[in-house]
Structure 1
């Protein structure tokens, strides 16, 4: 079924101001999300923050149901936190308490800087070894190399496979389902960073086979900034103690005792952005109402059209890799710094961003790319907007 682009644009006030190809940074929210957030902030101003939270308890709880439905899990497996990085960190550092010298973490060469920095910090503390899995000929993670490394137990036990589904620096989609199949075969936990994939493609955690998944609200999901969430498989929750606790994550049961709550909300803390939570739930419901298959089809078609138009220019190189690509398109222009390209586009009210080597050193450094321009399409973009982007680019 074709997606109603006119209706999607009618729901998106920001299209009147800009051509927005920075959805991998922070998408334009639909008015339904903005209204939900503003309505709650207004309620807080009128009756008080605690009182407004109590009055909106059903809307807050809806966020858990909406996220669970979006990614195919149960509501007690969802924790809502401040952002995707905090969600990922809470899971990773809970797992890291059991790491020992000589243990191995396997990760992708497309991995995001924040994740790698956490790996390196824990490696310095514990002696765990961080191993990037090789890419295959298409540029995606090599499932065969993953199998080989998992089987090489003489090199040390693999305690975690942590992979970014869609990297910040390109349109690659790593083979998450195949990774999940292999990690299940070997009984190794699988943490999937889905920050760039949730909201632009169908995600089903049971189908993928990941044990943990983290994502943000502000990118392709079109939710509020300052929101993120984690999925933790129910069977693993009780065995994980978060790196810090408060009176929301645990109950003080006696003067010298406490009890951690049994669900995924043990990874949350008491103070939170209530309006943001409500808006996140609305964003998840809004995405599902369009249908994730329809969204993915539209996003991929726009991104491929943009790649083709960029490829028409001899002075432009497109850098997306992988057997499958998505809504993120990255490129460079001969003799023009990527930040200068971004500024030029911004002058024409076309929003893009720049990914630098410091965000993805395993990948971009190996390819000799200090930086790339990143244009990321969403379903409310149009073919005419693609032409506006192309027309705004510097000329040789």
Structure 2
């Protein structure tokens, strides 16, 4: 299958007005996704919120099948969560942390995850070990294996850090986790929708992701996947009468499926729209999407690297659709703001999102351009010229 870029851009009318290179922040949803969300909200306004949920129960349930199919899981292993961070939190804080427990993570893990690591370190006496990088800048899998002992309770890694185009070796990490029978939490916030994901091939135990990035769903949506044999080993840190029905005056029973990590009230319009976005993505084919993103990002990365005064900061052997860069004499925020004034969207990774080696070079912020399949070579050329003439 070849992607019909003209059709995909027609489904994304904003392409006529601006260049959107901020897909790793929040993609622009295609029209069918937007329409599904608006249609549901209108139904709520017409007949009532509870009534709308009852009338669309089959469509709401279809989300679980779509999410499971997107990552090679099962519908009962999926929980709809309002964002990737909260999805990640629901399993990380479900562990019964004890003094001396050890968590192995990467030096480039997401900053919200880092906050949680150090919170449990402070609160429970857990040891947080940031595994060194290899020569390419990715997590060193051999060093990860050397760090394993009988105190390791969890391996937790961001597949694609938010602050660079690096793709960490998720499957190789999974092989180590499987070998030593250690649970493995994969933060796939930037990878689901960008590259093919199969949880069985990766070997992870839990996976969290968002709807707003490469899946092209709405903000305020995400999901959690927990491998079936681990669901009942994890008691969610928060429960309500959806996650754990109240069965008698003094007793509740926690659900046996992954919906134990949900709560009763949620973004129903967002769930329907996320399900539609997942179906849209699946219809296009992840291999096709990934090939297109690699082609565009490789071109953009090379073109930027050739510009005088521009430094591209992406490490790793395998790179993705995120391109982080700086330009001599220009603050990244200034680059973002001047591009935005020309209807070109990028984002900025500030101090707490930059990698350690960037700080070693006194780089406390970078500009980040992130492409998707609906972007074009012509947009890349215009973008590069805009950077050249800043």
Question: TM-score with structure 1 length normalisation?
Answer: 0.97
User: Does the CA-based 8 Å contact 1:110-1:363 persist in structure 2?
Assistant: no
Corresponding residue of 2:99: 101
Corresponding residue of 1:11: 11
Separation in structure 1 between the aligned mates of residue 328 and residue 344 of structure 2, nearest angstrom: 20
Corresponding residue of 2:44: 44
Return the match for 2:297 from 297, 303, 306.
303
User: Does the CA-based 8 Å contact 1:111-1:360 persist in structure 2?
Assistant: no
Separation in structure 1 between the aligned mates of residue 308 and residue 113 of structure 2, nearest angstrom: 36
Separation in structure 2 between the aligned mates of residue 237 and residue 146 of structure 1, nearest angstrom: 25
Higher mean C-alpha displacement, 178-187 vs 306-315 = 306-315
Query: What are the residue-to-residue correspondences of 1:217-236 with 2, within 5 Å?
Result: 217-236=211-230
Q: Offset at 1:360?
A: 4.2
Q: Offset at 1:365?
A: 2.9
Q: Offset at 1:364?
A: 4.0
Q: Offset at 1:274?
A: 0.4
User: Does the CA-based 8 Å contact 2:101-2:153 persist in structure 1?
Assistant: yes
Separation in structure 2 between the aligned mates of residue 361 and residue 180 of structure 1, nearest angstrom: 23
Return the match for 1:170 from 142, 164, 186.
164
Separation in structure 2 between the aligned mates of residue 54 and residue 74 of structure 1, nearest angstrom: 24
- Indicate the RMSD between aligned Cα atoms, in angstroms: 1.1
Question: TM-score with structure 2 length normalisation?
Answer: 0.98
Corresponding residue of 1:207: 201
2:245 match: secondary structure: strand
Number of aligned pairs? 390
1:86 aligns with 2:86: yes
Corresponding residue of 2:348: 354
Higher mean C-alpha displacement, 305-314 vs 199-208 = 305-314
1:96-129 Cα deviation digits (max 9, x unpaired): x2x2112111001110110000010111011001
C-alpha change, 1:339 and 1:58, in structure 2 (3 Å) is: same
User: Does the CA-based 8 Å contact 2:307-2:388 persist in structure 1?
Assistant: no
Query: What are the residue-to-residue correspondences of 1:331-370 with 2, within 5 Å?
Result: 331-360=325-354, 362=356, 364-370=358-364
Query: What are the residue-to-residue correspondences of 1:252-271 with 2, within 5 Å?
Result: 252-271=246-265
User: Does the CA-based 8 Å contact 1:109-1:363 persist in structure 2?
Assistant: no
Corresponding residue of 2:310: 316
Q: Which runs of 4+ in 1 moved over 3 A?
A: 360-364
Separation in structure 2 between the aligned mates of residue 289 and residue 180 of structure 1, nearest angstrom: 28
Separation in structure 1 between the aligned mates of residue 357 and residue 78 of structure 2, nearest angstrom: 31
1:326 aligns with 2:320: yes
Q: Offset at 1:357?
A: 2.0
Q: Offset at 1:363?
A: 5.5
